[in-house]
Amino acid sequence: MRIADLRATTVTVPLEAPLRHANGCHWGRFVRTIVEVETNDGKIGLGEMGGGGESAEAVFRGLRTDLIGHDPARIEELRFLVSNPTASLYNNRTQVMAAIEFACLDLLGQSWGVPVSEILGGRLRDRVPFASYCFFRYGDPKTGAGEVRTIDQVVANARALKAKYGFTTHKVKAGVFHPDYELEVYHAVAHEFPKDRVRFDPNAVWSTEDAIRFGQAIEGLNNDYLEDPVFGLNGMRRTREKVRVPLATNTVVVNFEQLAANALDTAVDVILLDTTFWGGIRPCVKVAGVCETFQLGVAVHSSGELGIQLSTMLHLGAVIPNLSFAADAHYHHLTDDIIEGGLMKYEGGSIAVPTGPGLGVTLDREKLRQYAELYRELGNYPYDRDPLRPGWAALVPNDRWADPNDGRWPEMKR
């Protein structure tokens, strides 16, 4: 089997509402690049990458000459061809490599008639549990409905997510408002579900002192962990010395060099594995092995996925023995998907690991066409901008918080 062609298509798929975060906002939709790797025997392997547009598609087009004729089973060779670690200093293609790795694993699974999880060591679980992932949200750009800003709105939203999907872990995504306000929000969520687990993620925008103050104030709650309270291994280490809550990260341990540093002088307890950030599913399995050795925790991170990437997260979650936390997914904030059958279903807060050959998902061509067309109409959105605060940028550490009494909602095309 040889690679015969490579295609990348940018799509944008609407979210239920604009999701606010520490650096700005998801403006009511996600932009993703869908990658198709076709072989000489007519198979199509699927990959997915965050962001998109002409420049992203051009990167994949530029790799066609190198990849055509290559055996998709030789993934380790591809790693050096696409994302050689020293060449990456000039041209970082880690996330591109991830999309290609997903597609190659999908092709191998299809060829061998087994799910990707069987290639990665075999599944240890058939379903992967997820957290509720509660965001502050702007109201719907047309109607203003669906706003999540006040404490009552946050709790009501978490309750609705639990009722609909069955979550027993609640993640509060924060870093938007002053930490004192968000502390009240987090306590309210934790007290609403005293038997459920909770976790909090301000996206690394606090000072170390704010991180310590907040961390100490949540010690009595049923915490999984406090995620990225501060940006940098030293701030995390100082926080960890003074706070009796495990710390997690998807920002300061995102490569093997940082993983080694954290093993030698621990600053973070739980490493969040992102199949895109780490360059594929296989590197994440490798990280989980290192964490098993050093008895660090792991969980599955979400950088905003459609069904192809969600499938990579499910196969990863199925095969790592030390997955001791619910995974994160933005997935249930989407209104639709580009895979056949539409959005994958949650039951009891978990999603079944696909059982079909390869990644176990198939492109819905009509949906791909529809959302590629929507992308051509709307283009990209600025992830690190807040639609209601023109000219604003978060500092690190931040002190320019949004106002929790501001109930406006922004105009935006969706």
- Stretch in the footprint of Mg ion (CB under 5 A) among 161-169, 248-256, 330-338, 361-369: 248-256
Place of tokens 């030789």: 74
Across-strand partners of 37? 6, 45
The radius of gyration computed from the CA coordinates of the chain, to the nearest angstrom, equals: 21
Is residue 334 within 8 Å of residue 306, measured between CB atoms? yes
DSSP state of 365: H
- SS3 call for 187: helix
How far apart CA 78 and CA 123 sit, in angstroms, is 25
Give min distance, CB of 230 to Mg ion, in A: 12
Question: Cβ–Cβ contacts within 10 Å for residue 191, how many?
Answer: 11
In order, the DSSP letters of 80-131 are HHHH-TTGGGTS--HHHHHHHHHHHHHHHHHHHTSBHHHHTT--S-SEEEB-
- Stretch in the footprint of Mg ion (CB under 5 A) among 102-110, 212-220, 247-255, 355-363: 247-255
Tokens of 283: 């590197």
Give min distance, CB of 253 to Mg ion, in A: 12
Q: Which is nearer to Mg ion, 21 or 79 (CB)?
A: 21
Q: Which is nearer to Mg ion, 48 or 227 (CB)?
A: 227
From the DSSP assignment, how many helices (H) and strands (E) are in the chain?
A: 13, 14
- Residue 178 annotated in active site: no
Cα torsion through 274, 15, 175, 177, rounded to 10: 180
Residue 337 contacts Mg ion per CB under 5 A: no
Q: Which is nearer to Mg ion, 201 or 337 (CB)?
A: 201
Give min distance, CB of 204 to Mg ion, in A: 8
Is residue 318 within 8 Å of residue 125, measured between CB atoms? yes
Residue 350 contacts Mg ion per CB under 5 A: no
CA distance readout (Å), 71 to 43, 83, 104, 239:
13, 17, 9, 47
Tokens of 196: 């459920």
Candidates 43, 70, 171, 301; catalytic one: 301
- Residue 330 annotated in active site: no
Judged by CB under 5 A, the chain residues 92 through 131 that form the site for Mg ion are: none
Residue 157 contacts Mg ion per CB under 5 A: no
Candidates 173, 315, 330, 333; catalytic one: 173
Q: Which is nearer to Mg ion, 106 or 201 (CB)?
A: 201
Is residue 404 within 8 Å of residue 150, measured between CB atoms? yes
Q: Which of 9, 27, 10 is nearest to 19 (CA)?
A: 27
Give min distance, CB of 228 to Mg ion, in A: 5
Give min distance, CB of 203 to Mg ion, in A: 6
DSSP state of 250: S
Judged by CB under 5 A, the chain residues 266 through 295 that form the site for Mg ion are: none
Q: Which is nearer to Mg ion, 201 or 210 (CB)?
A: 201
The letter for the amino acid at 239 is T
Residue 201 contacts Mg ion per CB under 5 A: yes
- Stretch in the footprint of Mg ion (CB under 5 A) among 143-151, 158-166, 201-209, 231-239: 201-209
- Stretch in the footprint of Mg ion (CB under 5 A) among 96-104, 193-201, 213-221, 380-388: 193-201
Total residues in contact with Mg ion, by rule CB under 5 A:
3
Q: Which is nearer to Mg ion, 172 or 320 (CB)?
A: 172
Mark residues 206-245: x for contact with Mg ion by CB under 5 A, - for none: ---------------------x------------------
DSSP state of 359: T
Q: For residue 119, which phi and psi values (nearest 5 degrees)?
A: -75, -30
Q: Which of 257, 361, 350 is nearest to 306 (CA)?
A: 361
Give min distance, CB of 276 to Mg ion, in A: 13
Give min distance, CB of 173 to Mg ion, in A: 8
CA distance readout (Å), 384 to 17, 69, 184, 401, 406:
17, 39, 25, 14, 20
Q: Which is nearer to Mg ion, 10 or 95 (CB)?
A: 95
- Stretch in the footprint of Mg ion (CB under 5 A) among 37-45, 72-80, 195-203, 218-226: 195-203
Residue 250 contacts Mg ion per CB under 5 A: yes
Give min distance, CB of 329 to Mg ion, in A: 13
Q: Which is nearer to Mg ion, 328 or 364 (CB)?
A: 328
> Catalytic residues, which ones?
173, 301
Positions touching Mg ion (CB under 5 A) are 201, 227, 250
